[in-house]
Amino acid sequence: MLRDSFGRTFPYIRMSITDVCNFKCGYCLPNGYQIDKSDNRKFLHLDEIKRLAKCFTELGVCKIRITGGEPTVRKDFFEIVKVLKNESGIRKVVITTNGYHLDQKAKALVESGLNGINISIDSLNRETFKNVTGHDRLPEILKGINNLQDLGFKNIKVNAVLLNGINSSEKDFQSWSKFIKDNKVDFRYIELMQTGDNLDYFKKYHVSANIFKNYLNKNKWIHQTLGRDAGPSLNYINPEYKGKFGIIAPYSKDFCKTCNRLRITSRGDLRLCLFGNTGISIRHLLQKDDQLNELKDLILKQMQFKKESHYLELGDTGSTKNLSKTGG
C-alpha cells in the first residue's frame, strides 16, 4: 500500500491521457487547447498505460480515473479503457469527461465496462453553459445522460465549477435540485481553483462553496460519510431525492487531510499533488515489462516527498498552469 509521511494512503490514481481538449472553459482553456512548444513528448502510449496500471495495482491501487484534457478525444480511448479493465488488475475504472457527443457515445461507454462517469456541466441553462464552455452542447450532454440511464448505467456524477454570479444563485441551486429529484445522479459543486493561467478569472468569479452549503442546510439535506477510495466530496442526502448533492471545497481547512490520490500526467510524470512542483517523470521505467520492480521502488521512494497541503490558500499554484495539464 502506498503511504506518505503523514500516514495517508493512496488507493486511487488520476491519470491524464491527453492535454488536448475541444472545449474552451473560461477557468481552464479560455483560448482553447494550444500546443505546448516547450514539451514535445508524446502522450502516454497504450502499452505504457498498461504497465503503469499493473504497477499501481501491485502497490494496492484499486481505482483509476481517466481524465485530461478531454479523454474521449483520444482515438484509442476505448482501447485504453479495455486494457485497464481487462489486463491491469485495477478494480474500478472511471472517467471524467466534458460530455462532448455523449448522446452518441453512451452505448459504447456502457459496453466498455466503465465503473463510473463524471460529467462536467457548469449550468443547466443552455446560454450560460455555452458562455462558460464556448460550446452550445448542453442538449446532447443531457440526452447522453438519459441514454446512459436507459441502458442501466448507474454511477453517474455531474460536476460544476461554482462561479460567482454565473451559476451561484438560489435559482441555479433549485434547478439542480429539480434535476436530481428524479434522476439518480450525484451533483457536486467544485470551488474554483486558482491556477498559473487564470488569476484574473479567479479573482472575478471565485466564491466560497459555503453559499451552497448554507442552501443545503436550509433545505434539510443530511451530511453523509463515505468509504476509503471515495473522492474529496462532502456528500448530502435527502430521502425525497433520487440523487445526492456534494461539495468539493479545496480551500476548506483540512481538505488535504483526506487526500487519497496521486496523479499521472499525460506525458508520464508522477505528480504527488494537483498543485505544487513535486513529482518526476517515471516514463523511462514504462518501456519494458521487466522494469516493474524498479518502477515500484521509484514510486514508493517518491511518497516521502508528498507535502501535507497544496498551499493553494497562499496563492501557490506551483507548476500548474491549468487543470487540463495535470488532469483535474
Burial (0-12, 13-18, 19+ Cβ within 10 Å), 299:
buried
Q: Least Å distance between CB 316 and ligand SAM?
A: 15
- Residue carrying C-alpha cell 496500471: 53
Stretch that binds ligand SF4, among 57-65, 67-75, 231-239, 276-284 (CB under 6 A): 67-75
Please identify, using beta-carbon distances, which residue of 72 and 147 lies nearer to ligand SF4.
72
Closest CB 62 distance from ligand SAM, rounded Å? 21
Strand 244-248 and strand 186-191: the pairing is parallel
Site for ligand SF4, residues 74 to 133, rule: CB under 6 A: 98, 120
Give the position of cell 460544476: 160
Rg (CA), the chain: 19
d(C-alpha 321, C-alpha 194), whole Å = 9
Chain position whose Cβ is nearest to ligand SAM? 328
Residue 195 as a binder of ligand SF4 (CB under 6 A): the answer is no
Residue 97 interface partner, choices ligand SAM, ligand SF4, none, CB cut-off 5-8 Å depending on type = ligand SAM
Pick the closer one to ligand SAM by CB: 276 or 328. 328
Q: Which does 67 bind (CB under 5 to 8 A by kind): ligand SF4, ligand SAM, none?
A: ligand SAM
71 touches ligand SF4 (CB under 6 A): no
Q: Closer to ligand SF4 at the Cβ: 23 or 241?
A: 23
The number of angstroms, rounded, from the C-alpha of 201 to the middle of its chain's C-alpha atoms is 20
Binding residues vs ligand SAM (CB under 6 A):
21, 27-28, 67-68, 70, 96-98, 120, 159, 161, 190, 192-193, 195, 198, 323-324, 328
Residue type, 16: S
Task: Please identify which residue in the block is written with the cell numbers 481487462.
Answer: 86
Which residues of the chain form beta strands (DSSP E)? 12-16, 63-67, 92-97, 116-120, 156-162, 186-191, 222-224, 234-237, 244-248, 261-264, 269-271, 279-281
Quick check: 192 and 206 in contact, CB under 8 A?
Answer: yes
Which of residues 2, 17, 29, 312 is near ligand SF4 by CB under 6 A?
Answer: 29
Q: In one letter, which amino acid is 22?
A: N
69 binds ligand SF4 (CB under 6 A): yes
For the bound state, the minimum distance from the C-beta of residue 184 to ligand SAM, rounded and expressed in Å, comes to 20
Partner touching 167 among ligand SF4, ligand SAM, none, CB below 5 to 8 Å by kind = none
Given ligand SF4, ligand SAM, none, residue 29, with its beta carbon under 5 to 8 Å by kind, binds: ligand SF4
Indicate the DSSP class of residue 42: P
Q: Give yes or no for residue 21 binding ligand SF4 (CB under 6 A).
A: yes
Q: How far is CA 64 from the centre of its chain?
A: 11
Q: How far is the CB of 58 from ligand SAM (least distance, A)?
A: 27
Other CB atoms within 10 A of residue 155 CB: 15
For ligand SF4, the closer of residues 20 and 270 by Cβ is 20
Give the three-class secondary structure for 205.
Answer: helix
Q: Kindly list the residues in this chain that would bind ligand SF4 in the complex (CB under 6 A).
A: 21, 23, 25, 28-29, 68-70, 98, 120, 324
